[in-house]
């Protein structure tokens, strides 16, 4: 069965455009790290080998906000691999929501993803606990149990072009070495002692000497902001939230938040109530603009401010939906059926 106007070859071509993205390499690696030890039984009962594997994954994929024990480098590799691989099921769900693909076009590969990577109770809890709600929606669409019960939205009537545009953006975003360098920096991968502190001090005018990578990092930051702002600018509020989820982790880092048990919370020990990388980059732009009388500098500052405000709006929308979803989930947990 196909949707009107899409023949089998077109569906196959569109599915390939999703499956063959930069995230494909991470998928193979993740299967090796999180896949079952042996084929799953149709009954759903775990074999001894798979039960042992599931126990190990329960330790590796534990919620960081409930664990006092730090993660080992090996555990972090597994968790990072899962985060990267989860891009694919999110794209599958967005493709269906947008009308880019019919559910028949992704049902089989989606179920293969769940069976190959999200088969263990720990992986399912990771998805729910870290608010990957679009993955839970996809599970409901393709008939996979074990996730939070959600009602996926009906496909949009004219959203296919929006999804195709976002897919092109995401390919470029994940393939851009400067953007990826900036993201690694946000994720605490530094190349010199106190590099993050030194760059912050430089942007805030507290230090005259910039870190060695300052120009490269700030170039990556600019490309990061430009790429996101360009794709979100043409979306309505609902679309910004749905597509913004894929970038939620980096937006939280950029705006000075962390993900904890209540959801996204401001990282006040590090940033205070109002500071963040976004605020610091903007402050640096204002200092540069104030130091010159050129009109072009003023226009650039205005454009940067508007882009920052747009990204903050997108992130706040994601936060609101995540908070509502989390509250609804907590209500379900404490509800007791009446006798």
Place of tokens 């490269």: 216
Calpha distance 60→75 (Å, rounded): 5
Calpha distance 217→94 (Å, rounded): 31
Positions of the chain with pLDDT under 70: 1-5, 291-293, 328-339
Place of tokens 């960081």: 64
Question: Which residues neighbour 268 within 8 Å (Cβ) at sequence distance 6 or greater?
Answer: none
One domain for residues 266 and 314: yes
Beta strands per DSSP E along the chain: 257-260, 263-266
Residue ending a domain, among 142, 166, 190, is 142
Count of Cβ atoms closer than 10 Å to residue 232 Cβ: 21
* pLDDT 10s digits, 185-218: 999 999 999 999 999 999 999 999 999 999 999 9
One domain for residues 190 and 294: yes
Residue ending a domain, among 90, 119, 142, is 142
pLDDT at 303 (0 to 100): 93
Is 46 a domain residue? Answer: yes
Is 164 a domain residue? Answer: no
pLDDT at 2 (0 to 100): 40
One domain for residues 138 and 184: no
pLDDT at 294 (0 to 100): 72
Place of tokens 């609902």: 238
State the DSSP string of 286-314. Answer: HHHHHT---HHHHHHHHHHHHHHHHHHHH
One domain for residues 126 and 181: no
Is 193 a domain residue? Answer: yes
* pLDDT 10s digits, 47-84: 999 999 999 999 999 999 888 899 999 999 999 999 99
* Half-sphere exposure of residue 265: CA atoms within 13 angstroms, side-chain side: 10
One domain for residues 309 and 265: yes
One domain for residues 323 and 184: yes
Question: Which residues neighbour 255 within 8 Å (Cβ) at sequence distance 6 or greater?
Answer: 276, 277, 278, 311, 312, 315
Is 3 a domain residue? Answer: no
Question: Which residues neighbour 164 within 8 Å (Cβ) at sequence distance 6 or greater?
Answer: 17, 100
One domain for residues 247 and 116: no
Question: Which residues neighbour 294 within 8 Å (Cβ) at sequence distance 6 or greater?
Answer: none
Calpha distance 2→10 (Å, rounded): 10
Crossing angle of the two packed helices 214-232 and 160-175, in degrees rounded to 10: 170
Is 64 a domain residue? Answer: yes
One domain for residues 211 and 120: no
The total number of structural domains that make up the chain: 2
pLDDT at 336 (0 to 100): 43
Question: Which residues neighbour 326 within 8 Å (Cβ) at sequence distance 6 or greater?
Answer: 131, 262, 263
Tokens of 294: 């050129």
3-state secondary structure of 174: helix
Question: Which residues neighbour 239 within 8 Å (Cβ) at sequence distance 6 or greater?
Answer: 159, 162
Is 148 a domain residue? Answer: no
Calpha distance 186→325 (Å, rounded): 27
Is 235 a domain residue? Answer: yes
One domain for residues 200 and 267: yes
Cβ atoms of 141 and 153 within 8 Å: the answer is no
Question: Which residues neighbour 323 within 8 Å (Cβ) at sequence distance 6 or greater?
Answer: 263, 264
pLDDT at 261 (0 to 100): 86
Range of the domain at 221: 176-329
pTM, whole model, 2 decimals?
A: 0.90
| Closest C-alpha among 289, 309, 308 to residue 298 | 289
One domain for residues 108 and 220: no
One domain for residues 232 and 124: no
One domain for residues 107 and 190: no
């Amino acid at each position: 069965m196909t949707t009107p106007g899409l023949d089998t070859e077109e569906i196959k071509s569109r599915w390939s455009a999703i499956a063959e993205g930069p995230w494909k390499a991470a998928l193979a690696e993740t299967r090796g790290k999180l896949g079952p030890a042996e084929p799953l039984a149709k009954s759903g009962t775990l074999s001894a080998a798979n039960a042992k594997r599931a126990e190990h994954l329960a330790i590796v994929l534990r919620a960081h906000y409930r664990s006092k024990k730090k993660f080992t480098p090996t555990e972090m590799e597994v968790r990072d691999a899962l985060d990267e691989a989860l891009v694919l099921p999110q794209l599958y769900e967005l493709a269906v929501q947008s009308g880019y693909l019919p559910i028949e076009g992704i049902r089989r590969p989606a179920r293969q993803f769940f069976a190959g990577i999200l088969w263990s109770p720990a992986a399912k809890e990771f998805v729910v606990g870290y608010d990957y709600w679009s993955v839970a929606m996809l599970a409901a669409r393709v008939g996979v149990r074990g996730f939070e019960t959600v009602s996926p939205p009906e496909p949009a009537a004219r959203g296919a072009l929006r999804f195709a545009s976002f897919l092109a953006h995401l390919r470029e975003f994940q393939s851009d070495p400067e953007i990826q360098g900036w993201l690694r920096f946000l994720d605490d991968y530094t190349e010199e002692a106190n590099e993050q502190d030194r760059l912050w001090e430089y942007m805030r005018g507290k230090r005259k000497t910039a870190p060695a990578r300052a120009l490269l990092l700030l170039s990556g930051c600019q490309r990061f902001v430009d790429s996101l702002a360009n794709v979100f600018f043409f979306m309505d509020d609902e679309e910004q939230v749905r597509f913004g989820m894929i970038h939620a982790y980096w937006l939280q880092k950029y705006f000075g938040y962390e993900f904890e048990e209540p959801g996204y919370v401001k990282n006040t020990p590090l940033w205070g109530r109002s500071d963040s990388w976004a605020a610091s980059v903007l402050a640096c732009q204002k200092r540069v603009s104030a130091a010159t009388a050129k009109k072009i500098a003023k226009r650039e500052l205005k454009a940067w401010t508007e882009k920052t405000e747009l990204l903050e709006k997108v992130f706040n929308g994601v936060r609101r939906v995540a908070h509502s979803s989390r509250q609804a989930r907590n209500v379900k947990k404490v509800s007791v059926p009446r006798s």
